[in-house]
Protein backbone atom coordinates (compact mmCIF):
# COMPACT_ATOMS: atom_id res chain seq x y z
CA UNK A 1 0.00 0.00 0.00
CA UNK A 2 1.08 3.61 -0.48
CA UNK A 3 2.31 5.77 2.35
CA UNK A 4 0.25 8.15 4.47
CA UNK A 5 -1.29 11.19 2.80
CA UNK A 6 -0.20 13.42 5.68
CA UNK A 7 2.78 13.33 7.99
CA UNK A 8 1.66 11.75 11.26
CA UNK A 9 4.38 13.61 13.15
CA UNK A 10 4.19 13.42 16.95
CA UNK A 11 1.08 11.24 16.68
CA UNK A 12 3.41 8.30 16.02
CA UNK A 13 5.16 8.87 19.36
CA UNK A 14 1.86 8.58 21.20
CA UNK A 15 0.82 5.62 19.04
CA UNK A 16 4.06 3.85 20.00
CA UNK A 17 3.27 4.45 23.67
CA UNK A 18 -0.13 2.84 23.08
CA UNK A 19 1.48 -0.06 21.22
CA UNK A 20 3.73 -0.93 24.17
CA UNK A 21 1.53 0.19 27.08
CA UNK A 22 1.92 -2.48 29.77
CA UNK A 23 4.13 -4.58 27.48
CA UNK A 24 6.45 -5.44 30.37
CA UNK A 25 6.17 -3.90 33.83
CA UNK A 26 8.83 -2.94 36.35
CA UNK A 27 11.00 -4.73 37.48
CA UNK A 28 10.94 -6.04 33.88
CA UNK A 29 11.67 -9.61 34.93
CA UNK A 30 9.95 -12.81 33.87
CA UNK A 31 9.79 -13.96 37.50
CA UNK A 32 7.77 -10.89 38.58
CA UNK A 33 4.14 -11.76 39.29
CA UNK A 34 2.74 -8.81 37.36
CA UNK A 35 4.54 -9.98 34.19
CA UNK A 36 2.75 -13.33 34.19
CA UNK A 37 -0.54 -11.81 32.98
CA UNK A 38 0.23 -9.66 29.95
CA UNK A 39 -1.34 -7.90 26.96
CA UNK A 40 -4.13 -5.93 28.65
CA UNK A 41 -5.22 -3.44 25.98
CA UNK A 42 -6.62 -3.72 22.48
CA UNK A 43 -6.61 -7.52 22.28
CA UNK A 44 -8.64 -8.78 19.30
CA UNK A 45 -8.92 -12.56 19.59
CA UNK A 46 -10.76 -14.98 17.30
CA UNK A 47 -14.55 -14.66 17.58
CA UNK A 48 -14.90 -18.35 18.44
CA UNK A 49 -12.76 -17.91 21.57
CA UNK A 50 -14.22 -14.71 23.05
CA UNK A 51 -16.86 -15.43 25.75
CA UNK A 52 -20.38 -14.41 24.79
CA UNK A 53 -20.67 -11.66 27.41
CA UNK A 54 -17.55 -10.03 25.97
CA UNK A 55 -18.38 -10.77 22.33
CA UNK A 56 -21.58 -8.72 22.59
CA UNK A 57 -20.02 -5.84 24.54
CA UNK A 58 -20.25 -2.58 22.60
CA UNK A 59 -18.54 -0.31 25.11
CA UNK A 60 -15.56 1.87 24.21
CA UNK A 61 -13.22 0.36 26.80
CA UNK A 62 -10.34 -1.52 25.21
CA UNK A 63 -9.11 -3.20 28.40
CA UNK A 64 -11.23 -6.34 27.87
CA UNK A 65 -10.52 -9.05 25.31
CA UNK A 66 -12.72 -8.64 22.23
CA UNK A 67 -12.90 -9.81 18.62
CA UNK A 68 -13.51 -6.47 16.90
CA UNK A 69 -13.00 -2.73 17.02
CA UNK A 70 -15.08 -0.05 15.36
CA UNK A 71 -14.04 3.56 14.93
CA UNK A 72 -16.49 6.24 13.84
CA UNK A 73 -15.46 9.87 13.50
CA UNK A 74 -16.55 13.00 11.64
CA UNK A 75 -14.84 14.48 8.62
CA UNK A 76 -15.30 17.72 6.71
CA UNK A 77 -14.11 16.80 3.23
CA UNK A 78 -15.22 16.73 -0.41
CA UNK A 79 -15.45 13.50 -2.39
CA UNK A 80 -11.97 14.11 -3.82
CA UNK A 81 -10.26 14.16 -0.40
CA UNK A 82 -7.99 11.19 0.29
CA UNK A 83 -8.19 9.18 3.52
CA UNK A 84 -5.30 7.06 4.76
CA UNK A 85 -5.57 4.47 7.53
CA UNK A 86 -2.63 2.77 9.20
CA UNK A 87 -3.56 -0.30 11.25
CA UNK A 88 -0.98 -1.11 13.95
CA UNK A 89 -0.77 -3.98 16.40
CA UNK A 90 1.58 -6.40 18.09
CA UNK A 91 1.86 -10.03 17.10
CA UNK A 92 3.04 -12.36 19.86
CA UNK A 93 6.01 -14.65 19.31
CA UNK A 94 6.96 -17.52 21.60
CA UNK A 95 10.62 -17.90 22.49
CA UNK A 96 11.40 -21.47 23.55
CA UNK A 97 14.76 -22.28 25.11
CA UNK A 98 15.68 -25.93 24.53
CA UNK A 99 18.51 -27.99 25.97
CA UNK A 100 20.37 -30.56 23.88
CA UNK A 101 19.75 -34.19 24.85
CA UNK A 102 22.18 -37.13 24.59
CA UNK A 103 20.07 -38.65 21.80
CA UNK A 104 20.73 -35.48 19.72
CA UNK A 105 17.18 -34.23 20.31
CA UNK A 106 16.11 -31.17 22.30
CA UNK A 107 13.83 -30.66 25.27
CA UNK A 108 12.17 -27.36 26.31
CA UNK A 109 13.54 -25.78 29.49
CA UNK A 110 12.69 -22.61 31.36
CA UNK A 111 16.20 -21.23 31.16
CA UNK A 112 19.68 -22.03 29.99
CA UNK A 113 23.04 -20.37 30.63
CA UNK A 114 25.65 -20.56 27.90
CA UNK A 115 29.07 -18.96 28.25
CA UNK A 116 27.76 -16.78 31.07
CA UNK A 117 24.75 -15.52 29.10
CA UNK A 118 21.26 -16.34 30.35
CA UNK A 119 18.46 -17.43 27.98
CA UNK A 120 14.82 -17.58 29.15
CA UNK A 121 11.66 -19.06 27.66
CA UNK A 122 9.20 -16.18 27.27
CA UNK A 123 6.72 -14.50 24.92
CA UNK A 124 7.87 -11.55 22.84
CA UNK A 125 5.95 -9.37 20.38
CA UNK A 126 6.54 -8.09 16.86
CA UNK A 127 5.01 -4.78 15.67
CA UNK A 128 2.96 -4.92 12.48
CA UNK A 129 1.56 -2.14 10.26
CA UNK A 130 -0.86 -2.22 7.31
CA UNK A 131 -1.83 0.80 5.18
CA UNK A 132 -5.13 1.44 3.43
CA UNK A 133 -5.96 4.44 1.22
CA UNK A 134 -9.03 5.65 -0.68
CA UNK A 135 -10.89 8.83 -1.55
CA UNK A 136 -13.97 9.94 0.39
CA UNK A 137 -16.06 9.47 -2.75
CA UNK A 138 -14.88 5.88 -3.18
CA UNK A 139 -15.62 5.09 0.47
CA UNK A 140 -19.13 6.55 0.20
CA UNK A 141 -19.86 4.36 -2.80
CA UNK A 142 -18.58 1.08 -1.32
CA UNK A 143 -16.48 -0.06 1.66
CA UNK A 144 -12.77 -0.66 1.07
CA UNK A 145 -12.26 -4.23 2.40
CA UNK A 146 -8.71 -5.39 3.12
CA UNK A 147 -7.72 -8.88 4.22
CA UNK A 148 -4.83 -9.04 6.69
CA UNK A 149 -2.73 -12.19 6.94
CA UNK A 150 0.48 -12.69 8.89
CA UNK A 151 1.80 -16.18 8.06
CA UNK A 152 3.23 -18.57 10.65
CA UNK A 153 6.95 -18.92 11.01
CA UNK A 154 9.84 -20.42 12.93
CA UNK A 155 13.40 -19.25 13.54
CA UNK A 156 16.15 -21.25 15.24
CA UNK A 157 19.39 -20.11 16.84
CA UNK A 158 21.90 -22.74 17.94
CA UNK A 159 23.66 -22.27 21.26
CA UNK A 160 26.71 -24.33 20.43
CA UNK A 161 26.37 -27.94 21.56
CA UNK A 162 24.37 -26.95 24.66
CA UNK A 163 20.99 -26.17 23.15
CA UNK A 164 19.04 -23.79 20.97
CA UNK A 165 16.42 -21.04 20.96
CA UNK A 166 13.30 -21.48 18.82
CA UNK A 167 11.03 -18.52 17.98
CA UNK A 168 7.54 -19.54 16.82
CA UNK A 169 4.72 -17.42 15.41
CA UNK A 170 1.23 -18.58 14.54
CA UNK A 171 -1.01 -17.28 11.71
CA UNK A 172 -2.97 -14.09 12.37
CA UNK A 173 -5.95 -13.21 10.18
CA UNK A 174 -8.09 -10.09 10.20
CA UNK A 175 -10.26 -7.98 7.94
CA UNK A 176 -10.47 -4.18 7.80
CA UNK A 177 -13.53 -2.41 6.39
CA UNK A 178 -13.12 1.30 5.73
CA UNK A 179 -16.27 3.16 4.69
CA UNK A 180 -17.96 6.56 4.76
CA UNK A 181 -21.44 8.06 4.60
CA UNK A 182 -22.97 11.49 4.73
CA UNK A 183 -23.86 12.55 8.28
CA UNK A 184 -27.05 14.37 9.23
CA UNK A 185 -25.86 17.92 9.89
CA UNK A 186 -26.67 21.47 8.70
CA UNK A 187 -23.33 21.67 6.87
CA UNK A 188 -21.59 19.04 4.69
CA UNK A 189 -20.22 16.35 6.99
CA UNK A 190 -19.00 12.77 6.53
CA UNK A 191 -19.04 9.94 9.04
CA UNK A 192 -15.92 7.81 8.54
CA UNK A 193 -16.05 4.24 9.82
CA UNK A 194 -13.16 1.79 10.29
CA UNK A 195 -13.97 -1.76 11.42
CA UNK A 196 -11.33 -4.31 12.37
CA UNK A 197 -12.21 -7.95 13.03
CA UNK A 198 -10.12 -10.98 13.90
CA UNK A 199 -11.21 -13.62 11.37
CA UNK A 200 -8.80 -16.31 12.48
CA UNK A 201 -9.56 -19.58 14.22
CA UNK A 202 -8.94 -20.20 17.91
CA UNK A 203 -7.10 -23.39 18.95
CA UNK A 204 -10.35 -24.36 20.76
CA UNK A 205 -13.13 -22.39 22.39
CA UNK A 206 -11.81 -23.58 25.77
CA UNK A 207 -8.15 -22.82 25.02
CA UNK A 208 -6.27 -20.88 27.70
CA UNK A 209 -5.74 -17.21 27.05
CA UNK A 210 -2.02 -17.71 26.40
CA UNK A 211 -2.88 -19.88 23.39
CA UNK A 212 -5.57 -17.53 22.10
CA UNK A 213 -3.11 -14.64 22.21
CA UNK A 214 -0.92 -16.43 19.69
CA UNK A 215 -3.53 -15.82 16.99
CA UNK A 216 -4.67 -12.41 18.26
CA UNK A 217 -3.98 -8.80 17.37
CA UNK A 218 -2.58 -7.13 20.51
CA UNK A 219 -2.62 -3.41 21.39
CA UNK A 220 -4.66 -2.82 18.23
CA UNK A 221 -5.06 0.81 17.20
CA UNK A 222 -5.12 2.91 14.06
CA UNK A 223 -3.87 6.23 12.74
CA UNK A 224 -6.14 8.10 10.32
CA UNK A 225 -5.16 11.04 8.15
CA UNK A 226 -6.85 13.07 5.44
CA UNK A 227 -5.56 15.25 2.60
CA UNK A 228 -7.98 17.88 1.38
CA UNK A 229 -10.20 17.82 4.47
CA UNK A 230 -10.24 17.95 8.26
CA UNK A 231 -11.56 15.93 11.19
CA UNK A 232 -13.86 17.19 13.94
CA UNK A 233 -13.24 16.45 17.60
CA UNK A 234 -15.75 14.05 19.13
CA UNK A 235 -14.84 15.39 22.58
CA UNK A 236 -15.42 19.04 21.72
CA UNK A 237 -17.34 19.26 18.42
CA UNK A 238 -18.75 22.54 17.13
CA UNK A 239 -22.34 23.17 18.20
CA UNK A 240 -23.71 22.42 14.74
CA UNK A 241 -22.06 18.94 14.77
CA UNK A 242 -22.92 17.90 18.35
CA UNK A 243 -25.84 15.70 17.32
CA UNK A 244 -23.76 13.96 14.64
CA UNK A 245 -20.96 13.40 17.15
CA UNK A 246 -23.35 11.72 19.57
CA UNK A 247 -24.45 9.35 16.82
CA UNK A 248 -20.90 8.04 16.31
CA UNK A 249 -20.59 4.53 17.74
CA UNK A 250 -17.10 3.47 18.82
CA UNK A 251 -16.51 -0.07 20.05
CA UNK A 252 -13.43 -0.97 22.14
CA UNK A 253 -11.59 2.11 20.89
CA UNK A 254 -12.03 5.88 20.74
CA UNK A 255 -10.64 8.43 18.24
CA UNK A 256 -9.05 11.73 19.24
CA UNK A 257 -7.34 14.49 17.26
CA UNK A 258 -3.61 13.78 17.22
CA UNK A 259 -0.34 15.35 16.22
CA UNK A 260 0.66 18.94 16.95
CA UNK A 261 -1.93 21.13 18.68
CA UNK A 262 -4.18 22.81 16.15
CA UNK A 263 -3.90 20.07 13.54
CA UNK A 264 -7.15 18.53 12.35
CA UNK A 265 -5.87 16.21 9.63
CA UNK A 266 -4.77 13.33 11.89
CA UNK A 267 -6.66 11.13 14.35
CA UNK A 268 -5.51 8.35 16.65
CA UNK A 269 -8.08 5.69 17.50
CA UNK A 270 -6.83 3.70 20.48
CA UNK A 271 -8.09 1.25 23.13
CA UNK A 272 -6.86 3.68 25.81
CA UNK A 273 -8.98 6.80 26.35
CA UNK A 274 -7.15 10.08 25.78
CA UNK A 275 -7.84 13.77 25.25
CA UNK A 276 -7.37 15.49 21.91
CA UNK A 277 -3.74 16.05 20.91
CA UNK A 278 -2.15 13.72 23.50
CA UNK A 279 1.59 14.04 23.98
CA UNK A 280 4.49 12.03 25.31
CA UNK A 281 6.40 14.05 27.91
CA UNK A 282 9.40 15.71 26.22
CA UNK A 283 11.43 15.04 29.37
CA UNK A 284 11.04 11.27 28.94
CA UNK A 285 14.36 9.66 27.89
CA UNK A 286 12.59 6.65 26.36
CA UNK A 287 9.77 4.14 26.65
CA UNK A 288 9.19 2.44 29.99
CA UNK A 289 5.82 0.88 29.03
CA UNK A 290 3.82 3.09 31.40
CA UNK A 291 2.78 6.01 29.15
CA UNK A 292 5.74 7.96 30.68
CA UNK A 293 3.67 9.06 33.67
CA UNK A 294 6.16 7.94 36.32
CA UNK A 295 9.47 7.89 34.48
CA UNK A 296 11.41 9.39 37.38
CA UNK A 297 10.39 6.88 40.02
CA UNK A 298 10.71 3.97 37.59
CA UNK A 299 14.20 5.10 36.64
CA UNK A 300 15.22 5.43 40.29
CA UNK A 301 13.76 2.03 41.14
CA UNK A 302 15.45 0.44 38.14
CA UNK A 303 18.79 1.83 39.29
CA UNK A 304 18.34 -0.03 42.60
CA UNK A 305 18.02 -3.46 40.94
CA UNK A 306 20.80 -5.87 41.82
CA UNK A 307 23.17 -7.13 39.15
CA UNK A 308 21.39 -10.50 39.21
CA UNK A 309 17.98 -8.84 38.77
CA UNK A 310 19.29 -6.76 35.87
CA UNK A 311 20.74 -9.89 34.32
CA UNK A 312 17.34 -11.59 34.44
CA UNK A 313 15.60 -8.50 33.02
CA UNK A 314 18.02 -8.40 30.09
CA UNK A 315 17.36 -12.08 29.40
CA UNK A 316 13.59 -11.62 29.71
CA UNK A 317 13.15 -9.41 26.64
CA UNK A 318 15.35 -7.31 24.33
CA UNK A 319 13.25 -4.23 25.11
CA UNK A 320 13.77 -4.77 28.82
CA UNK A 321 17.50 -4.94 28.16
CA UNK A 322 17.25 -1.56 26.37
CA UNK A 323 15.58 -0.03 29.44
CA UNK A 324 18.21 -1.40 31.83
CA UNK A 325 21.08 -0.18 29.64
CA UNK A 326 19.48 3.24 29.12
CA UNK A 327 18.79 3.81 32.81
CA UNK A 328 22.25 2.63 33.80
CA UNK A 329 23.74 5.29 31.54
CA UNK A 330 21.25 8.09 32.15
CA UNK A 331 23.06 11.45 32.71
CA UNK A 332 22.33 13.33 35.92
CA UNK A 333 20.89 16.33 34.06
CA UNK A 334 18.36 14.07 32.28
CA UNK A 335 17.33 12.50 35.57
CA UNK A 336 16.90 15.97 37.07
CA UNK A 337 14.56 16.95 34.22
CA UNK A 338 12.27 14.05 35.12
CA UNK A 339 11.64 15.61 38.54
CA UNK A 340 9.08 17.97 37.06
CA UNK A 341 8.32 20.68 34.54
CA UNK A 342 6.10 23.75 34.68
CA UNK A 343 4.01 24.21 31.53
CA UNK A 344 1.00 26.25 32.67
CA UNK A 345 2.46 29.55 33.89
CA UNK A 346 1.04 32.55 32.04
CA UNK A 347 1.25 36.31 32.61
CA UNK A 348 -1.63 37.73 34.63
CA UNK A 349 -4.29 39.23 32.43
CA UNK A 350 -5.54 42.76 32.67
CA UNK A 351 -7.64 43.34 35.76
CA UNK A 352 -6.36 40.24 37.59
CA UNK A 353 -5.47 40.95 41.20
CA UNK A 354 -2.05 39.62 42.13
CA UNK A 355 -1.80 41.34 45.52
CA UNK A 356 -1.01 39.13 48.53
CA UNK A 357 -4.18 40.39 50.20
CA UNK A 358 -6.44 38.68 47.66
CA UNK A 359 -8.83 36.25 49.35
CA UNK A 360 -7.89 32.57 48.98
CA UNK A 361 -9.71 30.53 46.38
CA UNK A 362 -12.02 27.76 47.62
CA UNK A 363 -9.38 25.06 47.24
CA UNK A 364 -6.58 26.96 48.97
CA UNK A 365 -5.62 26.87 52.67
CA UNK A 366 -7.32 29.68 54.56
CA UNK A 367 -10.59 29.52 52.66
CA UNK A 368 -13.69 28.74 54.68
CA UNK A 369 -14.26 25.64 52.57
CA UNK A 370 -10.59 24.67 52.20
CA UNK A 371 -9.90 20.99 51.63
CA UNK A 372 -7.71 19.17 54.12
CA UNK A 373 -6.72 15.81 52.60
CA UNK A 374 -4.56 14.95 55.62
CA UNK A 375 -7.53 15.15 57.99
CA UNK A 376 -10.60 14.71 55.78
CA UNK A 377 -12.45 11.40 56.07
CA UNK A 378 -15.09 9.36 54.28
CA UNK A 379 -17.54 6.75 55.57
CA UNK A 380 -17.13 3.27 54.13
CA UNK A 381 -19.69 0.69 55.30
CA UNK A 382 -20.34 2.92 58.29
CA UNK A 383 -16.64 3.08 59.23
CA UNK A 384 -14.71 6.36 59.22
CA UNK A 385 -11.74 6.07 56.84
CA UNK A 386 -9.03 8.73 56.96
CA UNK A 387 -5.26 9.09 56.88
CA UNK A 388 -3.71 6.16 58.76
CA UNK A 389 -6.62 3.75 58.14
CA UNK A 390 -5.91 0.33 56.71
CA UNK A 391 -8.24 -0.93 53.97
CA UNK A 392 -8.63 -3.98 51.79
CA UNK A 393 -8.53 -3.06 48.09
CA UNK A 394 -11.41 -4.34 45.95
CA UNK A 395 -11.15 -2.63 42.53
CA UNK A 396 -14.23 -2.65 40.32
CA UNK A 397 -14.39 -5.43 37.73
CA UNK A 398 -15.56 -3.03 35.05
CA UNK A 399 -14.45 0.51 34.32
CA UNK A 400 -11.36 0.45 36.53
CA UNK A 401 -7.72 0.74 35.54
CA UNK A 402 -6.68 -2.71 34.32
CA UNK A 403 -3.51 -2.52 36.42
CA UNK A 404 -5.61 -2.10 39.59
CA UNK A 405 -6.67 -5.73 39.19
CA UNK A 406 -3.21 -6.73 40.39
CA UNK A 407 -3.95 -5.01 43.71
CA UNK A 408 -7.18 -6.91 44.40
CA UNK A 409 -7.13 -8.19 47.98
CA UNK A 410 -3.99 -6.26 48.96
CA UNK A 411 -3.89 -4.13 52.11
CA UNK A 412 -3.60 -0.39 51.59
CA UNK A 413 -2.63 2.38 54.00
CA UNK A 414 -4.70 5.52 53.52
CA UNK A 415 -2.50 8.57 52.96
CA UNK A 416 -5.18 11.18 52.19
CA UNK A 417 -8.80 11.70 51.19
CA UNK A 418 -9.42 14.07 48.29
CA UNK A 419 -12.54 15.82 47.00
CA UNK A 420 -12.65 16.69 43.30
CA UNK A 421 -14.56 19.48 41.56
CA UNK A 422 -17.47 17.10 40.95
CA UNK A 423 -17.79 16.49 44.72
CA UNK A 424 -16.54 12.91 44.35
CA UNK A 425 -14.17 11.56 46.99
CA UNK A 426 -11.01 9.66 46.15
CA UNK A 427 -8.89 7.78 48.66
CA UNK A 428 -5.11 7.85 48.14
CA UNK A 429 -3.30 4.75 49.41
CA UNK A 430 0.09 3.10 49.47
CA UNK A 431 0.50 -0.67 49.64
CA UNK A 432 1.36 -1.92 53.12
CA UNK A 433 3.83 -4.63 52.06
CA UNK A 434 5.38 -2.63 49.19
CA UNK A 435 9.10 -2.10 49.95
CA UNK A 436 8.95 1.08 47.89
CA UNK A 437 6.02 2.59 49.82
CA UNK A 438 8.24 5.14 51.56
CA UNK A 439 9.54 6.34 48.22
CA UNK A 440 6.01 6.59 46.82
CA UNK A 441 4.95 8.54 49.92
CA UNK A 442 7.90 10.92 49.64
CA UNK A 443 7.04 11.67 46.00
CA UNK A 444 3.30 11.73 46.60
CA UNK A 445 2.76 8.89 44.11
CA UNK A 446 -0.36 7.13 45.35
CA UNK A 447 -2.93 4.64 44.12
CA UNK A 448 -6.42 6.15 44.03
CA UNK A 449 -9.64 4.28 44.76
CA UNK A 450 -13.29 5.22 45.17
CA UNK A 451 -14.81 4.51 48.61
CA UNK A 452 -16.90 1.63 47.20
CA UNK A 453 -13.66 -0.10 46.16
CA UNK A 454 -12.48 -0.36 49.78
CA UNK A 455 -13.16 -2.61 52.78
CA UNK A 456 -12.21 -1.07 56.15
CA UNK A 457 -9.83 -3.06 58.33
CA UNK A 458 -10.24 -2.17 61.99
CA UNK A 459 -10.86 1.44 63.01
CA UNK A 460 -9.13 4.69 62.17
CA UNK A 461 -6.28 5.47 64.59
Closest CA to 216 of 391, 360, 91, 74: 91
Across residues 13-26, what is the average pLDDT?
Answer: 87
Rounded Cα gap, residues 395 and 366, in angstroms: 35
pLDDT band at 459 (very low <50, low <70, confident <90, very high): low
Rounded Cα gap, residues 424 and 426, in angstroms: 7
Contact between residue 78 and residue 189 where contact means Cβ atoms under 8 Å apart? no
Rounded Cα gap, residues 436 and 438, in angstroms: 6
454 pLDDT higher than 70: yes
pLDDT value at position 214?
Answer: 95
Q: Give per-residue pLDDT as tens, 84-139.
A: 999 999 999 999 999 999 887 999 999 999 999 999 999 999 999 999 999 999 99
Across residues 367-396, what is the average pLDDT?
Answer: 81
pLDDT value at position 362?
Answer: 43
Identify the H or E element spanning 119.
strand 117-120
Q: Give per-residue pLDDT as tens, 76-95.
A: 999 999 999 999 999 999 99
Across residues 433-448, what is the average pLDDT?
Answer: 83
Give start-end residues of each CATH 2.30.30.30 domain in the chain.
Answer: 377-457
pLDDT value at position 343?
Answer: 56
pLDDT band at 283 (very low <50, low <70, confident <90, very high): low
Please indicate whether residue 187 or residue 10 has the higher confidence score (pLDDT).
187
With a CB cutoff of 8 Å and minimum separation 6, the contacts of 356 are none
pLDDT value at position 398?
Answer: 58
Across residues 415-424, what is the average pLDDT?
Answer: 79
340 pLDDT higher than 70: no
pLDDT value at position 411?
Answer: 94
Please indicate whether residue 420 or residue 127 has the higher confidence score (pLDDT).
127
Residue 439 φ then ψ, to 5°: -65, -40
CA 453 to chain centroid, in Å, comes to 22
**C-alpha torsion sign, points 52, 55, 60, 62:** positive
254 pLDDT higher than 60: yes
279 pLDDT higher than 90: no
pLDDT value at position 424?
Answer: 79
pLDDT value at position 1?
Answer: 39
175 pLDDT higher than 80: yes
pLDDT value at position 421?
Answer: 63
Of 223-232, 296-305, 371-380, 421-430, give the range with the top mean pLDDT. 223-232
With a CB cutoff of 8 Å and minimum separation 6, the contacts of 423 are none
pLDDT value at position 35?
Answer: 84
pLDDT value at position 264?
Answer: 93
Closest CA to 257 of 88, 3, 11: 11
Q: Give per-residue pLDDT as tens, 181-235.
A: 999 999 999 999 999 999 999 988 899 999 999 999 999 999 999 999 999 999 9
248 pLDDT higher than 80: yes
pLDDT value at position 352?
Answer: 47
pLDDT value at position 385?
Answer: 92
pLDDT value at position 282?
Answer: 66
Q: What percentage of the chain exceeds 70 in pLDDT?
A: 84
User: Rounded mean pLDDT of the chain?
Assistant: 85
pLDDT band at 363 (very low <50, low <70, confident <90, very high): very low
CATH number of 377-457: 2.30.30.30
Identify the H or E element spanning 153.
strand 153-159
453 pLDDT higher than 60: yes
pLDDT value at position 2?
Answer: 44
Residue 144 φ then ψ, to 5°: -95, 110
Among 104-108, 146-150, 193-197, 339-343, the minimum mean pLDDT is found in 339-343
Contact between residue 126 and residue 149 where contact means Cβ atoms under 8 Å apart? no
Across residues 348-376, what is the average pLDDT?
Answer: 54
pLDDT value at position 350?
Answer: 46
pLDDT value at position 376?
Answer: 84
293 pLDDT higher than 60: no
Across residues 156-168, what is the average pLDDT?
Answer: 95
pLDDT band at 261 (very low <50, low <70, confident <90, very high): confident
Amino acid sequence: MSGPVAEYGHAVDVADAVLYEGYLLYPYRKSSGKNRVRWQFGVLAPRTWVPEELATDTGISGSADAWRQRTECLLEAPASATVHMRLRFLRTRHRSVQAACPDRGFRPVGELTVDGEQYLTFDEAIPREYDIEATVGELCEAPRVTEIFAPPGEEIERLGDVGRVVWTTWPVRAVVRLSAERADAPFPLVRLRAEIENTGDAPTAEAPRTEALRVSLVATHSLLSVRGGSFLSLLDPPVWAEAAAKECRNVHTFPVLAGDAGRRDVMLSAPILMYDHPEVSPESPGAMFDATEIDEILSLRTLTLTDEEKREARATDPRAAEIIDRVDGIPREVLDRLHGAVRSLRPLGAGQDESPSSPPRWWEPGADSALRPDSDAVLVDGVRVAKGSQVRLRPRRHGADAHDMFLDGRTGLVEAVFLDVDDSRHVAVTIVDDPGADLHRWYGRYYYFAPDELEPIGTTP
